[in-house]
């Protein structure tokens, strides 16, 4: 490296704008970070700081009951998958299945 390095200062509004941008459907974190001349990890760090210990969840829409298969307690419909969780499924299994859908 050559030249004088400097530490850039980002306003809270700038940080919030970048964190909001990566939260949009279809957002490409690498491209957003590149345009801002940042590493993706920095934006993720800001997001963790803004959320604190809060966990991010998908938006939930409750609709009138449709006919669900017998013994089915929860039906999760995503654009690419439908997950039916049995009423007697363990919470650990249900959490693991839903967590795998994020990836």
Task: Give pLDDT tens digits for 39-92.
Answer: 999 999 998 888 775 655 666 666 666 666 666 777 777 777 788 888 888 888
54 versus 12: the higher-pLDDT residue is 12
Q: Where are the domains positioned within the chain?
A: 12-51, 57-103
pLDDT of residue 31: 94
pLDDT of residue 8: 82
User: Residue 43: which of 9, 68, 17 has the closest Cα?
Assistant: 17
12 versus 63: the higher-pLDDT residue is 12
2 versus 51: the higher-pLDDT residue is 51
Task: Report d(CA 48, CA 45) in Å as an integer.
Answer: 5
């Amino acid at each position: 490296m050559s030249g004088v390095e400097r530490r850039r200062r980002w306003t809270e509004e700038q940080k919030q704008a970048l964190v909001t941008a990566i939260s949009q459907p279809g957002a490409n974190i690498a491209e957003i970070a590149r345009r801002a001349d940042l590493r993706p990890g920095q934006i993720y760090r800001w997001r963790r700081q803004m959320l604190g210990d809060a966990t991010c969840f998908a938006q939930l829409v409750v609709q009138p009951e449709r006919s669900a298969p017998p013994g089915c307690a929860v039906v999760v419909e995503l654009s690419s998958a439908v997950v039916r969780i049995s009423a007697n499924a363990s919470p650990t299994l249900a959490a693991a299945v839903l967590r795998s859908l994020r990836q």
